[in-house]
A and B are shown apart, each in its own frame.
Chain A
Amino acid sequence: MAILSLAIKSLLNRRFTASLVLISIALSVALLLGVERLRVESRNSFANTISGTDLIVGARSGSINLLLYSVFRIGDATNNISWKSYRHFANNKMVKWSIPISLGDSHRGYRVMGTSEDYFRYYRYSKHRQLEFLKGKPFEQVYQAVLGHEVAEKLGYSVGQEIIIAHGAGKTSFSMHKDKPFTVSGILAATGTPLDRTVHVSLQGIEAIHKGWIQGRKVPGLNISAERASRSDLTPNSITAFMLGLKSRIATFGLQREINEYPGEPLQAILPGITLQQLWDMMAVAENALLMVTGLVVLIGLVGMLTVMLAGLNERRREMAILRSVGARPMHILLLITGESLLLCLLGIAAGLVLLYTGLFITQPYIETLWGLYLSIGLPTEREWGLMGLIGLTGLVVGLVPGYRAYRYSLADGMSIRI
């Protein structure tokens, strides 16, 4: 079509300013789509971390806090719960399986989680997937550990290796359980969840390394050998939290109420799905704010385009008069000027997509190590297409402004050339 080829040639003629406009639109589009990608991917990764667990129980605090520390290894528990309470509910007739969790120690920045063998049997992630061993097998003895995939990979550990566990979380913990090293018994396959960054040991192991410790401090002068510790009674007094799988989901709410009203100690039971939803609701405000800011950045890019198009319009009145003289209708002039804006905007969106995917490919490994967030690089989602469509539509509306102005000019000027 004549007008389209005119628009393309006119843009090519002004390729310097046009490419500046294009770059600013492309950057803003890449930013918007990138933020949207991160939002969706982080939601997916959270949602994929736990599956098939009906209730999570911990000391009474915020439900989101409980979910975060028990499942995502984010933050810490405010209080422990007693072993007695755990056994009480683990033996409930509605309960099919239970997994105790004991947190608080670490290994070179990776969290150590005390649990039972049932963890490897019953824990499910990402739509009912079971944990798989890449190498080795679950821990069977007190001083054995199972490594998450990333722990083994990053630290270069293999089965049979000895590791020292540090007291407390964090990379630079000074108090080490040096006298009681653990042997790696197995390495888990990658799951793309915080599990990959966890060192799993038995509850007995956690208990054993804390023999001779009171209130989180080592008692000076009291040295209990690893050998002696493993032979003593290793039933823990307390754990951090536990997960429950029920025989029937119908029982969930009843048991939840029972746990919340447990007279023995203040407990709190949460449904992971519902609490995750609460977390999303809480995050939605921040997410929407972020999306709005990036949306505004796109708008600024488009306003930049508007400025450039409007500024160039006056010196193009001669061109419009010439076009009119060879038979172009005022409508053609409107289409030409608006088409140029739309073309710039669409090219900007396309370039933005290219930028986005380049950025994703480059940053994917860094994001994975930094935040443990695995970005899957797929085709744009429906929502992303929608966003791009919206940007294109906005570009069209913005382009109508100089287009309409040019239309008015060409009606007023006719063929007379004014500068």
Chain B
Amino acid sequence: MTETAISVNDLRYRWRKGHADVLDIPSWKVAKGEHIFIRGASGSGKSTLLALLAGVLLPQQGDIQILDKYVNRLSASQRDHFRADHIGFVFQLFNLIPYLSVIENVILPCRFSRFRKSKVNACGRSLEQEAIRLLNHLDMAGDKLLHRPVTELSVGQQQRVATARALIGSPEIVIADEPTSALDSEMREAFIELLFQECRESGSTLLFVSHDRQLESLFRHHIPLEELNRLEQETA
């Protein structure tokens, strides 16, 4: 039996009162451990959907259930806690904190989530050891790389550090919002392979968002956002 990681019901979201809805999703479920590719044109509302799932935005209508929590029913601080504990993020570009070292960037989520920190410690590793282990997997643990300011890393290297950050403390859900758009096509595939491998290892559910059709073939499950979103179907 597969458990659900994400379940969305009757969701409606618009940015401002009086504006048209951006999202209108009657029903959507994602099973635990799945790797899902969500495709959609630019401006179709992909990032908005992710922000709703992460509890940064609140829907005007409907329910969003992540794991066993209705995130839209939590208070703002509970949502922030929930996000820190259960969701890891990789963004498009330059998503490292410029004044922190590589390792400090990787362990950043553990500074805001005791839960993720304790998960690391439960494996008998310190945060630094875990960060180096993850970076090692991502081919990023060379001594020279570790001690370089993050602003001097190449884009691909930065994305790998960001991936290690998203994966530390094995969050149940990993969200990647166009993480490959700055990479060339060869690096893109290698990066996605890495991401799959790491998510499989930690048993995380992966939501991967992009407008790039070429990547679709790499995923077993893929959904065009238009299929989820009733509005897109109407206007299409």
Contacts and interface: CB of A to CB of B under 8 A. Distances in A.
Interface string A388-417: 000000000000000000000000001111
Interface string A316-336: 001101111111111010000
Interface in B52-100: 54, 56-57, 76-77, 80-81, 83-85, 89, 91-92, 94-100
A417 B95 contact: yes
Interface in B133-155: none
Interface string A1-33: 010001001101110000000000000000000
Contacts of A415: 50-51, 54, 56, 89, 91
Interface in B168-206: none
- Interface majority SS (helix, strand, loop, mixed), chain A: helix
Nearest to A2: B111
Contacts of A330: 76
A10 B99 contact: yes
Given A2-B112, A325-B89, A414 B97 contact: no
Given A327-B81, A327-B85, A329-B76, A322 B112 contact: no
Given A327-B81, A328-B80, A329-B80, A417 B92 contact: yes
A416 B98 CA distance: 17
Interface string A292-328: 0000000000000000000000000011011111111
A323 B83 CA distance: 12
Nearest to A417: B91
A263 to B, nearest CB: 85
A416 B97 contact: no
B12 interface: no
B165 interface: yes
Given A319-B98, A322-B96, A327 B51 contact: no
Interface in B17-53: 47, 50-51
A17 B212 CA distance: 42
Given A2-B111, A417-B91, A417-B92, A325 B97 contact: no
A5 to B, nearest CB: 8
Nearest to A315: B98
A323 B113 CA distance: 12
B56 to A, nearest CB: 4
A416 B84 CA distance: 16
A127 to B, nearest CB: 56
A329 B54 CA distance: 13
Nearest to A10: B99
Contact of B98 (A13, A332, A417): A13
Given A322-B91, A414-B51, A415-B51, A327 B99 contact: no
A126 to B, nearest CB: 55
Contacts of A417: 91-92, 95
Contacts of B104: 9
A326 B112 contact: yes
A403 B154 CA distance: 32
B97 A319 contact: yes
Contact of A322 (B54, B83, B85, B97): B97
A319 to B, nearest CB: 6
Contacts of A10: 99
A414 B54 CA distance: 10
A67 B83 CA distance: 76
Interface in B86-132: 89, 91-92, 94-100, 104, 108-109, 111-113
Contacts of A332: 112
A326 B111 CA distance: 9
Nearest to B89: A325
Contacts of B95: 318, 322, 325, 417
Interface in A344-365: none
A327, A332, A414: which has the most chain B beta carbons within 10 Å? A327
Nearest to B83: A327
A330 B112 CA distance: 13
Nearest to A324: B56
Contacts of B57: 414
B97 A327 contact: no
Nearest to B57: A414
B165 A326 contact: yes
A43 B214 CA distance: 83
Contacts of B85: 327
B99 A326 contact: no
A9 B100 contact: yes
A326 B89 contact: yes
B91 to A, nearest CB: 6
Given A9-B99, A13-B98, A326 B84 contact: yes
Interface of B: 47, 50-51, 54, 56-57, 76-77, 80-81, 83-85, 89, 91-92, 94-100, 104, 108-109, 111-113, 165
Interface of A: 2, 6, 9-10, 12-14, 318-319, 321-330, 332, 414-417
What 8 pairs across the A-B complex have the smallest Cβ distances?
A327-B84, A13-B99, A327-B112, A414-B56, A2-B111, A325-B89, A326-B109, A329-B80
